[in-house]
């Protein structure tokens, strides 16, 4: 079978298509014929060696992918053959809080990822995907979408009438916008680019704030809520945006800490956190129970992930390059097999 791997050294230049034996499922396992994968920024960092410089190589990258079960091992019901499933990002995390072992056993590093024509996974490490989505669309769900779901629903408890602030027009934030609207909340979306603001409005944002024109955008966001502040912030910027998020959030509200696009270290004024009784909630993708609940929501609301581009497996390096360029509008996907 064909697999796309980062070979003996890190770096995009070391990505190559190789031939590997088709794996056989062991007891309690399923074999998935992978049809599509999608890329996350983590995958690029992993290939570059920035995510985990001690990751053993070679590695098949990409944590997100979808396919059909075509063989099962002992102890797995044969009816599972033919089911279309996604691999879960954290393979052993079924529900509840994570533990160290399950939080670390993730696809696309340290475990092999989805850029290969077949993958063997534990039966508990896969879940069905919404029927109305194409394989490519469904392949976008395991990491970015589930992270947004965990931030808003599993951990954030967003309710109808709430106001949610999403930062930027990227994968996690676009899913968060969809889920917040589906939950009956109104959404304020920031973006660094005036061009992208219109797209956010079309997707359902109530208001947009262009941050490049407005360094004190947190105050602007608070103003839009009549001075109360938003109930929950989807924080993907990290160090460079946290202070403005603190201005935007209401007393007793939540800042869901997801990404560090604008830096991972900052001098933080702690006083507004305690004076405002703000909950700073770290989010690490999510568990299978969350994924299943999210898929029910996606199905009921007929939500459709936005796909930027689709590359054939043999050209997956170009997919990573597009991810690195930052030019994408939606998820970058790879067609792994027919």
- Please report which helix (H) or strand (E) contains residue 166, including its range: strand 163-167
Instruction: State which of residues 129, 144, 145, 319 lies at the interface with ligand NAP (CB under 6 A).
Output: 144
In the complex with ligand NAP, which residue's Cβ is closer, 262 or 293? 262
Question: Nearest Cα to 66, choosing from 124, 6, 119, 123?
Answer: 119
Please choose, out of 9-17, 75-83, 121-129, 278-286, the segment that lies near ligand NAP by the rule CB under 6 A: 278-286
171 forms part of the interface with ligand NAP (CB under 6 A): yes
Instruction: State which of residues 46, 107, 165, 236 lies at the interface with ligand NAP (CB under 6 A).
Output: 236
237 forms part of the interface with ligand NAP (CB under 6 A): yes
Q: Residue 229 is encoded by which pair of tokens?
A: 């502040």
Report DSSP letters for 15-84, one per residue.
Answer: EEEEE-PPP---TTEEEEEEEEEE--HHHHHHHHTSS-TT--SSB---SEEEEEEEEE-TTS-GGGTT-E
In the complex with ligand NAP, which residue's Cβ is closer, 184 or 240? 240
The answer to whether 141 and 163 have CB atoms below 8 angstroms apart is: no
Please choose, out of 6-14, 37-45, 59-67, 124-132, the segment that lies near ligand NAP by the rule CB under 6 A: 37-45
In the complex with ligand NAP, which residue's Cβ is closer, 6 or 209? 209
Minimum CB distance to ligand NAP, residue 283 (Å) = 5
Please choose, out of 18-26, 73-81, 115-123, 279-287, the segment that lies near ligand NAP by the rule CB under 6 A: 279-287
192 forms part of the interface with ligand NAP (CB under 6 A): yes
CB atoms within 10 A of CB 299: 15
Minimum CB distance to ligand NAP, residue 33 (Å) = 26
User: Could you give the CA distance from residue 8 to residue 11 in angstroms, rounded to a whole number?
Assistant: 10
CB atoms within 10 A of CB 302: 9
- Which residue's entry shows tokens 């219109």? 198
Which residues lie closer than 8 Å to 122 by C-beta, 6 or more apart? 28, 29, 30, 91, 92
In the complex with ligand NAP, which residue's Cβ is closer, 223 or 240? 240
Instruction: State which of residues 18, 24, 132, 193 lies at the interface with ligand NAP (CB under 6 A).
Output: 193
233 forms part of the interface with ligand NAP (CB under 6 A): no
Question: Nearest Cα to 252, choosing from 268, 267, 272?
Answer: 272
170 forms part of the interface with ligand NAP (CB under 6 A): yes
User: Could you give the CA distance from residue 3 to residue 57 in angstroms, rounded to a whole number?
Assistant: 14
284 forms part of the interface with ligand NAP (CB under 6 A): yes
Minimum CB distance to ligand NAP, residue 53 (Å) = 17
Q: Residue 223 is encoded by which pair of tokens?
A: 């103003």
Instruction: State which of residues 34, 38, 42, 43 lies at the interface with ligand NAP (CB under 6 A).
Output: 42
Binding site for ligand NAP (CB under 6 A): 40-42, 143-144, 147, 167-173, 191-193, 196, 236-237, 240-241, 258-262, 283-285
């Amino acid at each position: 079978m064909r697999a796309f791997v980062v070979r003996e050294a890190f770096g995009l230049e070391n990505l190559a298509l190789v031939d590997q034996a088709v794996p056989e499922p062991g007891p309690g396992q399923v074999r998935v014929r992978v049809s599509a994968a999608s890329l996350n920024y983590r995958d690029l960092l992993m290939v570059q060696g920035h995510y985990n410089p001690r990751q053993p190589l070679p590695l098949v990258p990409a944590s997100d992918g979808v396919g059909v079960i075509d063989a099962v091992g002992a102890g797995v019901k044969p009816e599972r053959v033919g089911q279309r499933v996604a691999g879960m990002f954290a393979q052993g995390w079924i529900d509840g809080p994570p533990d160290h072992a399950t939080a670390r056993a993730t696809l696309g590093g340290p475990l092999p990822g989805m850029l290969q024509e077949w993958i063997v996974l534990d039966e508990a490490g896969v879940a069905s995907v919404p029927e109305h989505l194409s394989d490519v669309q469904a392949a976008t769900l395991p990491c970015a979408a589930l992270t947004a779901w965990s931030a808003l629903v599993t951990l954030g408890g967003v309710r109808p009438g709430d106001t949610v602030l999403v930062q930027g027009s990227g994968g996690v934030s676009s899913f968060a916008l969809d889920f917040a609207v589906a939950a009956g909340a109104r959404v304020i979306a920031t973006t660094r680019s005036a061009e992208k603001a219109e797209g956010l409005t079309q997707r359902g944002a109530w208001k947009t704030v262009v941050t490049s024109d407005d360094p004190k955008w947190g105050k602007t966001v608070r103003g839009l809520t009549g001075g109360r502040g938003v109930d929950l912030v989807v924080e993907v910027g990290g160090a460079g945006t946290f202070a403005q998020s603190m201005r935007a959030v209401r007393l007793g509200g939540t800042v869901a800490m997801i990404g560090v696009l604008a830096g991972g270290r900052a001098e933080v004024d702690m006083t507004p956190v305690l004076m405002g009784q703000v909950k700073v909630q770290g989010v690490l993708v999510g568990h299978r129970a969350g994924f299943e609940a999210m898929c029910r929501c996606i199905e009921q609301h007929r939500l459709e992930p936005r796909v930027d581009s689709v590359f054939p497996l043999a050209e997956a390096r170009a997919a990573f390059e597009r991810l690195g360029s930052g030019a994408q509008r939606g998820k970058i996907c790879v067609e792994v097999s027919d």
